[in-house]
Amino acid sequence: MAQIAAAFAIGIIFAFGLAVSEMINPARVIGFLDVTGYWDPTLLLVMAGALTVTLPIFPLILHRSKPFLAAQFSLPRKTQVDLPLLLGAAIFGAGWGLAGFCPGPALAALASRAPGVILFVIAMLLGQWLASRFETRSS
C-alpha cells in the first residue's frame, strides 16, 4: 500500500517536472530536435537538471542493501549491447521525431483530453503489445 501511494505521489512530481520544463509540449521537443532549424536547447537543460540530481544520488541509494519500502531493488538485468536495443532505440527515435511525444509527456498530456494525445497513447500501447508478442515468440 505504501509503495502504491509513493508511486502515485512520485508520478505527480514527475508530471510537474514535465509541465514546468514544458517537455509536455511537443512543439518544444521538436524545437530541440530541429538542430538545423530554430534550435531550442531546453531539452538539454532538462536532461542536465535531472542528471545533476540522479548522477550523484543513484550510486548512494544503490549502495544500500535494499530500498526503504520494498524488499529488494528491481533493476534491469540486461548488460550486453544487442540488436534489439539498437533497433528499438532507432525506431523509438523515429516515432519521437514524428510526434514530439515520448511516453512520459504523452501520458501526462492525457490530462488535456486532446483527441490527438489519446490516439497517440492508444497506438503506443498497441505498439508495446505487438512488440511484447514478438518477445514471447522468439524466446
Residues from 25 through 54 that contact another protein (CB under 8 A): 25-28, 30-31, 33-38, 40-43, 45-54
72 near another protein, rule: CB under 8 A: yes
What is the distance between the alpha carbons of residues 118 and 134, in angstroms, rounded to a whole number? 25
Closer of 78 and 137 to another protein (Cβ): 78
Nine-digit cell at 128? 508495446
For residue 135, state whether it binds another protein (rule: CB under 8 A): yes
Does position 115 interact with another protein (CB under 8 A)? The reply is: yes
- Is 139 an interacting residue with respect to another protein (CB under 8 A)? no
Close Cβ partners of 15 (under 8 Å, ≥ 6 residues apart):
24, 108, 111
Strands (E), the chain: none
Name the minimum Å distance from CB 9 to another protein.
7
**63 is an interface residue for another protein by CB under 8 A:** no
Residue 112 grid cell: 488535456
Task: Report the C-alpha gap between 84 and 86 in whole angstroms.
Answer: 6
